[in-house]
Structure 1
Amino acid sequence: MNAYDSEREHTFEALPPAQGRGFAQSWWGRAWLAALEGGALDGEQVRTGRRLARAGAVGAVSVRPGRITAVVQERDGTGYRADVLLDVLTDAQWDRFLDLTVERSGHVAALLDREMPPHLVEDSEAAGIDLLPGLGDLEAECGCDAWDHCRHTTALCYQVARLLDQDPFVLLLLRGRAEQALLADLQARSTAEPAEAAPTPQQGVDAVEAYLAGHVLPPLPAVPELPGQPGVPPSLDTEAPPAGVVEPAALEILAARTAAQAHVLLAEALRGGAERLAPAWALTVGEDAVRLAAGRPGDADTAQWVLNRLAAGSRRGREQLALAVRAWRTGGVSALSVLEEEWVVEGEALARARAALDTAWEEDERPVLRARGNRWTVVGSAGQLRLGRDGRWWPYRKERGRWVPAGDAARDPATALAAVASEEVEEALS
């Protein structure tokens, strides 16, 4: 796929058009696009650039420290050189990054597998090293003389997101360190003699005296690793009858769900950047019932009993509850609201929705959509787009005469609708 021009510059061949798919599948690729979309001043240029990238208008991409370059062609064949700049890390920052990486063998293994571990990015940020760009960090230069991101530099950024999905070393080279040099430094540090352990602090010393005397304090404990599965709550199966209206089976299920939720929160805290679901105490009774049902509680017999109770308590039938659970697992409260609430899109929200739909596809690729409320149904297809109140698009497809969630939400309606096509292809192959 790529040809090595030199150790400090890599050139990637032009990628084929990205029709019917999103540009970033990895979390670090999406973070790259978030920096572009959040920092660009002209939303129309972003949408037009996305269309150019989707049509395959970006040529070979050259990546070197601090700069990526490509020629982007307009539909009339006119080519413009587009450059996107990102600050390189200093030698001191690279030294800290390498030390952080070798502290955990999993970081090195993940990089070798072309993965960007979330823990590595978080640890680096805590040490003052920003691997991923933030808002406004991606500077633009283009032959069309635009002073901010134009459609050409935007198209280049979308293409780079696809490259980052395949190889995070693209980002590391852009930050100033080539792959082979980086791996050599990691190897050297991994085989070096371990540093002397920090001296043990004196016991029984007053905190103020220790601070004034300059006593060396022990390092903070390492961030805990995520367990493979939630903890097992204690069993409440005893010979003593339950007191009052307490139901042991229900209590065991709630304890298991609490352990599962704690596992999810720990994973979220370690991963970073994940969108949090609403806390349980902020949910309505109906929403909380769906949350509990989404946890797949207990064995088969217990699960049926619990699901019947939750369906009745939330005033849903079992089929409605199952559909609500499916929505919940794609996006929590927001996804559940999109499933069960139909609302009228008007004013500024309607104008933004129409603009997004108009620019998401090329003229000859745009599907015919029939609108009703916040729902746009693809004519002659089993696909539908639903607009959430936060401006995101949710994909739906028709199964056995009813509309069901088909995937995660996206800011781009074409990306969201591509999830429906992906499901259809997977079903055809299975």
Structure 2
Amino acid sequence: MTTPRGARGAVPRHDDRRRSFPQVAPREAPDGRFAATWWGNAWVEALEDAALDPARLARGKAYAGRGHVDAITVTPGRVVAYVHGSRPRPYRTEIRMRTLGDDGWERFLDETTARPDHIAALLDKDVPHALEAVTGLLPAPGDLVPDCSCPDDGYPCKHAAALCYQAARLLDEDPFVLFLMRGRGEQELLAELTRRNAALSAAETTAAAPPMPTVPARAVFDAAARAGLSLPPPLPLPDRPGRPAVFPPDPDAPDPLALDLLASEAAARAHVFLTSGHDPVAALTPWQDAVRLAAAHPGSGLTASTRALYRDLAYALDRTPTDLARAVAAWRQGGAAGLAVLEEPWDPPAGPFDRARPALIAADFPAFRPWRNRLSTESLQLRLGRDGLWYGYESDAGREDWWPRGAPDHDPVGALTDLLGR
């Protein structure tokens, strides 16, 4: 499903290739080195081996130790932060590096998948030395390209050096930051490793298991018929759909209320299909199905879970919660036909539509104006559906904000009477 964008105030989609980190607290490794891990220190060594001025490095290390580096943002091939110097306004500083190409990532993924202990190490925030040897994840001298808005043309200046030192501490905390610097986000990598590991496991299982003997189904039926046997009767159908299991809350799992909703809907759909041979949902579009789901539950605003349901369904289909609430009102008014009346103006043929205005005038409702399949006043509207029913709508006077109201009727006067009586 798709998602709505910023103009509607929707929650932004998570970007796996852009991470921001708050200011890193100064600390020193037990052995006196700046970083605590071998890959963090390898990062520092790549900076120091390429530096042209040891004095600037020393000042940069001091800046990093005193907390002069603000929050750090990491994207593929780029590390950016504001670094405070001697002037009141901080300098925008960045470190650029080459990202790994597809061949490099293929080597990394193949090597990692081939060794379960490598996957376990990565999940434990550790980088095996073998992965670096195969793929060249860590920068070599000259791979790190500093840039800063300060007037110092040193390579690197003390602000870029400070950023590079602080970035080493980020790598200590989470090696997936290094992978992001090289071009791949954490979720992207884990998903691909999971897929490859599952495929490898399936291939190993298939290769290890002997093929099962098979018998053609037709041969079984023919043998049973010759022996005078018949199939047992099918199991009786339950009176109602079953209830889903209880899903305990888990911060790393989907919303249990959403799981319960989807499981309940799947059970109801399966029950209808078993009893009638008809799938009530198969012909619906994603939008129609979302409206149907929301319409089957209490109206928006009654409970927190219902508000979340409306928000999430609307977000997934590039609509607003108000769009969904209006569509739900139409669905409750007339199902899929009612939703079509809400969303699809059309030109009806001569007949019932032409007879509607004289009928309304005779019933003392003379102010209705026609447009396509609609008859409107300032605050009331009747819409003729393709099913031959009239659907009532209301709006505040002077606004084109029409909401479905009342029950549909073959008689426009009946539909209007029901609308006004509510």
User: Under a length normalisation based on structure 1, what TM-score does the superposition of the two structures give?
Assistant: 0.42
Q: Bigger radius of gyration, 1 or 2? A: 2
Q: With structure 2 as the length reference, what TM-score do the two structures score?
A: 0.43
